[in-house]
Structure 1
Amino acid sequence: MAPADFKTQTDLVVQFLFADEDEIQQRILDSIESDGEGSTEEEDDFDPVLVADKLRTIGDALNNDPRFGAVMSDLKTAAAKETLEAAFSHSVEALCETYSATAPEVAPEVQLIKTSVALGVYVAKTAPELKSKVQNALSSFLSNRVSGWVTQQGGWDKVRDLDE
């Protein structure tokens, strides 16, 4: 998977992570209709809806952590100042420090993925007005911080199957 492919896949995963049920159903219908029309095996392995669904499950499980609420005011202030991407990255790193202390056996990249997705889902649910900005920040964060690791694992479809 080339770096450009990773960015495209990441954007699709994040898009479906924040998608409503109608958008997801439309994607499923579109993929059913296009099966067999010149698709390659590599394309068939990657399904952004399945990856997003797995990441959403992880995010929802972590959203009960009170530390997520604590970063909301910082993110809202940053959004008003147009610095949400930097604040999002800083918040993920701060939350990861806490989690890595309690689960040091988990790869740092997995911690970054879990925490960034959980924070993104939390912000989108609790501050819907920030949804598009957080979607962009999450996509950028994942592309910049974990692209090499996800590529080494074999892509998003392989990361989805990790049970860490």
Structure 2
Amino acid sequence: MAPTEIEVEWQTCEIIKYLFEDEEDVTYRTLSLDAGLETDGPAGSNDNFDPVIIADKLRTVADALNEDLKFKAALESFKKAAQKEVTEQAFSQGVEALCQTQVFQTAEVAPELQLIRASAAFGRYVIKSSPELKNQVIGVMTAFVNNRVSPWLTKQGGWDKVKI
């Protein structure tokens, strides 16, 4: 059964939480998964959904992409916006600027998937460069993905049906 938009929004929160875990938590989580422990979800949620696996895939994609020079310019813009508390707009602008780069301009990838990849890459880059912005990035990235991509994710059948 396909998840509802509310379930997809919950899934998004979980994925972003795991995406930005501290490195020692990632190592512990990986060891726990290797031991066969399962993740929890809301009652009635899709048993195939695993936010840890999706977050790990996004982390790999994001870390591979954040060498682009546009990241540095977008980071500076985001830092200035964070000081003025307009981070949601700055995050959105940073992600959209990254989507215009050659790295993200691939015809076979849906625009929504490009937004997901760019937001993960930008969010990881900001947090690595400015760890003090971690909580702000988590909040604005969650809002961004839920506002811009949640309906598309719901139509696809949820996060576990999308090939990151």
- The one of 105, 109, 113 equivalent to 1:110 is 113
**Deviation, structure 1 residue 27:** 8.6
Correspondence for 1:119: 122
Higher-helix-fraction structure: 1
Q: Distance in 2 between matches of 1:101 and 1:14?
A: 20
How many residues align? The count is 157
Q: Does structure 1 residue 79 correspond to structure 2 residue 46?
A: no
Q: Does the CA-based 8 Å contact 1:100-1:111 persist in structure 2? A: no
1, 12, 15: which one aligns with 2:14:
12
* Alpha-carbon distance in 1 for matches of 2:102, 2:151: 22
Deviates more, 1:117-126 or 1:88-97: 88-97
After the TM superposition, list the runs of 4 or more consecutive aligned residues in structure 1 that deviate by more than 6 angstroms.
none
Structure 1 runs not aligned, ≥5 long: none
**Structure 1 residue 91 corresponds to structure 2 residue 94:** yes
Mapped partners of 2:90, 2:101: distance in 1: 17
Corresponding residue for residue 152 of structure 2: 149
- Residue 136 of structure 1: aligned partner: 139
Which whole-Å CA distance do the structure 2 matches of 1:146 and 1:103 have between them? 18
Confirm or deny: 8 A CA contact 1:99 1:111 kept in the other structure. Answer: no
Identity rate, percent: 46
Give TM-score, length-normalised by structure 2: 0.84
SS, match of residue 145 in structure 2? helix
Task: Kindly report the root-mean-square deviation, in angstroms, between the aligned alpha carbons of the 2 structures.
Answer: 2.5
